[in-house]
Amino acid sequence: MQIKKPHLSFWQIVNMNFGFFGIQFSFGLQQSSMSPIYSYLGADEASLPYLWLAGPVTGLLVQPIVGAMSDRTTSRWGRRTPYFLIGAILCSLGLLAMPFSPTLWMAASLLWILDAANNVTMEPYRAYVSDRLDKSQHSIGFLTQSAFTGLGQTLAYLTPSILVFAGMNKNAVNSSNIPHIVIAAFLIGAVFSLGSVLWTLKTTPELPMTEEEVAVIRSQPHGFQHTLGEIFSAINDMPTTMKQLAWMKLFQWYAMFCYWQYIMLCLAKTIFATNDPASEGFRDAGLLNGQLGAFYNFIAFIAAFALVPFAKRLGPKIVHSVCLVLAGIGMLLIPEIQNKQWLWLPMLGIGLAWASMMGNPYIMLAGSIPKERTGVYMGIFNMFIVIPMIIQIFTLPLFYRSLLGGNPENVIRLAGILLLFAAASVGFVKLQKSNANDH
């Protein structure tokens, strides 16, 4: 017999998901700062995707394994808690070290550690929502995570500009040409990463498992071999809804990786007419990218809550498709804009889509997977994020110069087209009746 899950208040759900703020602050720093850091350290423009390999590969390997392990964990600290803590500590250490990288290879190596740590924390956090909340509260639970994605990344993108406003010199750099404002932003991120997870664990501990649940878990075979076996078994038994969502995620995440890698280089050309990493215009493009990224993430923060009634009334499919269309149109417009004041308009669509990406696909998934395999299926579902990223990393450099003319503006246009394809593919997803309108 399972313990009845208590109905949590809005603020309890907020506390429960606050750890997501720190995780997403870290991801926001990566999205906004890794391409500039690589450029400061001498990376070639066409090779940038290869240097982003750490994120998707660690996600591919770590998330399903950690998901399966957390499903079978019966420690004194809880089922998911050990993974929250280990991941948050390693993430903080990675953030502390990253901006002091003296060479390109060291920055790329630290990104592997940082991404692995984020992934150790991320997947059990997704499963934690299903563990802690009744199905009727899944929408508000996952969309609250989406809101903290927006808030955490808003502050991550905006922190360098805030530091400049507070009096730091935007042109002061260390011996590796990395601006001091970027170094300070990573140090702040290290504090947020660990502190927010500790707050969640203090305010919203895990529900204790029943003796029957513990007995079932302990009766299952353990060990790394059996963990891998559980992953492959779950893939073989994958629900139809989950398979159909894979196509949408292929287009969606290939597009977003293109955007994150090349948006700053695009802005440097279209707004500041430069591609020289040592120029003031290039640093200004970095600040502008941070401000735009903060804006679209703030829109995502607000939209995450605003999308809840629409997801309940219209269903997550329609809401997600509309948001993807708006983002696709926005990305197609960005390279045509030469006055930076107009750049805020396409960010509205990107912000709406970002909020939807962090919530609605998980709403569609949650009602189609068995409770006892929540962790492993959440991990496999996140493979549908990282596999498109890996495909992007190994394919984009092959045609960056030939088909895209070596022009970062064309990468952003490609991202816009792919988001429109993602919106169309949502229409082919068939949801189970239990989650078709919400849940």
| 124-175 residue pLDDT tens | 777 777 777 777 777 778 778 777 877 888 889 899 999 999 999 988 988 8
**What is the overall mean pLDDT for the chain?**
84
What is the structure's pLDDT at 251?
A: 96
What pLDDT does residue 221 have? Answer: 65
**pLDDT in the model for residue 3:** 52
For 47-55, what is the mean pLDDT? 84
- What is the mean pLDDT of the segment spanning 243-269? 93
Higher pLDDT pick, 313 / 97: 97
Residue 435, pLDDT > 50, answer no
H/E run at residue 405: none
Task: Please tell me the predicted confidence (pLDDT) of residue 438.
Answer: 41
CA angle (400 as vertex; 119, 182 as ends), nearest 5? 45
More confident residue, 122 or 391: 391
Residue 335 C-alpha from the chain's centroid: 24
For 169, the token pair is 């010199």
**pLDDT of amino acid 55:** 76
pLDDT at 1: 41
Residue whose C-alpha is closest to residue 65's, from 379, 383, 390:
379
Percent of the chain beyond pLDDT 90? 33
Taking each helix axis from N to C terminus, what angle separates 374-399 and 104-132, rounded to the nearest 10 degrees?
Answer: 150
- Tokens standing for residue 37: 């850091």
312-336: b or e for each residue (b if 16 or more CB lie within 10 Å)?
beebbbebbbbbbbbbbebbbbbbe
Of 334, 335, 359, whose CA–CA distance to 347 is shortest?
334
Give the span between the Cα atoms of 294 and 280, in whole angstroms: 21
Kindly state the tokens that stand for 2. Answer: 């399972």
Residue 434 confidence class, pLDDT cut points 50, 70, 90: very low
Say which residue, 402 or 127, is predicted with more confidence.
402
Reported pTM: 0.73
First CA to last CA distance, the chain: 23
Tokens of 271: 């707004």
pLDDT tens for each residue of 178-213:
899 999 999 999 999 899 889 988 888 777 776 776
365 touches 381 (CB < 8 A)? yes
Residue 249 pLDDT grade (very low, low, confident, very high; cuts 50, 70, 90): very high
